[in-house]
Structure 1
Amino acid sequence: MIRLNVFLLIEEESNRRPLIEAATRLTELSLHDKGCISYDLYGSLTVDNHLMICETWNDRADLEQHMATDHFRTIVPQLQQLATMTMEEFTF
């Protein structure tokens, strides 16, 4: 399995609502992708401008297939315009 922790740092408050809407839509669509075990969006309780997408995939092939979907290729660039994105990847 593969776990991705995608951290989103919102640098402008005006980007918060559009970022949450786009990330929520990505989450809703990705949950239906083959091999998706979990996919969720979290917000920090202590820092308003930090969000995280936590996703778990069955294997690399499923993750790559997800990354080729229209929703991924459309929404991820929107997220990157609205926030600074960093990622951690774990294989287990």
Structure 2
Amino acid sequence: LRLAGGTCNRGRLEVLHASQWGTVCDKHFSNADAAVFCRSMGKPHANAEAIMQFGGGSGLIHLDEVNCDGVLEWKSCRHSGWGVHACDHSQDVGLNCH
């Protein structure tokens, strides 16, 4: 996991899968989901926010329809499948980990 286009605790969420970085696009990504991803990166997460202000990424979209309800680690979150998405980079998820 990494945050791109911002600071060390704020940026567009990107995930490494099959040796390639890709974004997460999801118009329903919640602050609770954000907390799971921030925690998984070892960043502050008590007041984590899902934000869309970092602009769209480019290249692959790895995840969509992410739901982390009831889990502590991002790899346990439900999603539509690797590379399966019904969105574009205009809906790429950003995080504010704090």
Q: Could you state the TM-score of these two structures normalised by the residue count of structure 1?
A: 0.30
Q: Could you state the TM-score of these two structures normalised by the residue count of structure 2?
A: 0.29
Larger RCO (alpha carbons 8 Å, 6+ apart): 1
More helix by share: 1
More strand by share: 1
User: Based on CA coordinates, which of the two structures has the bigger radius of gyration?
Assistant: 1
